[in-house]
Amino acid sequence: MRALDYEGLYEACYMQVYSFLLTMSRDRSLAEELTEQTFYKAMTARSEFRGEGSELTWLCAIAKNLYADEQRRRARQSDLEPEKAATAVSGAMEDGALDRDMAFRIHMVLHDMPEPYKEVFQLRVFGELSFREIGRIFARTETWARVTYHRARLKIQERMGNDG
């Protein structure tokens, strides 16, 4: 385990973590709140960064878990308030359910994908990093990042095609 410069980490990764959460939640205020919680948890959690991946990947994992916790909390709350939940149902939610289903399928494929394909894809799609930035993270070239990302996309498409 290594010590982290949390201020530098916050400066470097805030927008990527926020973008990642905004993509998942489609709610600016929730994304802002969860981004702050992510950095707070990273600084105060007993489990420290182990250096097995990038700091951004570690932060996005924390953010994803916080988002899942929030979704579970909201689901429990809606179970307690059925009238409110019933009035919130709309056509947009049905579209959102289809999008969430597709996103879930992609995440399932990503979960089993080997490195570096998994991390490169996540940094590009969820972290919204440029190929140049991804190359720098891995101490590789921009071209390497592009090729790795496109190979990851092909693997995802192939596996999703096989899953139906």
Please state which of the ranges 12-26, 37-51, 59-73, 76-90 shows the lowest mean pLDDT: 76-90
Q: What is the pLDDT of residue 50?
A: 63
Q: Categorize the per-residue pLDDT at 163 as very low, low, confident or very high, splitting at 50, 70 and 90.
A: low
Q: What is the pLDDT of residue 49?
A: 63
φ/ψ bin of 139: left (φ > 0), alpha (ψ from -120 to 50), beta (otherwise): left
Q: What is the pLDDT of residues 56-115, one digit of tens each?
A: 888 888 899 999 989 888 887 765 554 444 444 444 444 555 566 777 777 788 788 888
Q: Which residues, including other chains, have CB under 8 Å from residue 110's CB and lie 6 or more apart?
A: 118, 121, 122, 156
Which has the higher per-residue pLDDT, 162 or 7?
7
Residue 84 to residue 129: CA distance in whole angstroms? 38
The answer to whether 119 touches 53, Cβ cutoff 8 Å, is yes
Evaluate the omega torsion of the peptide bond into residue 116 and state whether it is cis, within 30 degrees of 0. yes
Longest dimension (CA), the chain: 55
Q: What is the pLDDT of residues 125-157, one digit of tens each?
A: 877 788 888 889 899 998 998 899 888 888 888
State yes or no: pLDDT of 1 exceeds 80. no
**What mean pLDDT is predicted for residues 34-55?**
77
Torsion, Cα 5 136 147 107, to 10 degrees, reads 10
State yes or no: pLDDT of 35 exceeds 80. yes
Domain boundaries defined on the chain: 1-88, 90-164
Q: Which residues, including other chains, have CB under 8 Å from residue 159's CB and lie 6 or more apart?
A: 109, 112
Instruction: Tell the CATH topology of 1-88.
Output: Rna Polymerase Sigma Factor; Chain: A (1.10.1740)
Q: What is the pLDDT of residue 34?
A: 93
Q: What value, to the nearest 5°, has the Cα angle with vertex 31 and ends 25 and 35?
A: 135
The answer to whether 153 touches 124, Cβ cutoff 8 Å, is no
CATH annotation of 90-164: 1.10.10.10
**What mean pLDDT is predicted for residues 9-29?**
88
* Long-range contacts from 92-98, C-beta under 8 angstroms, 24+ separation: 96/26
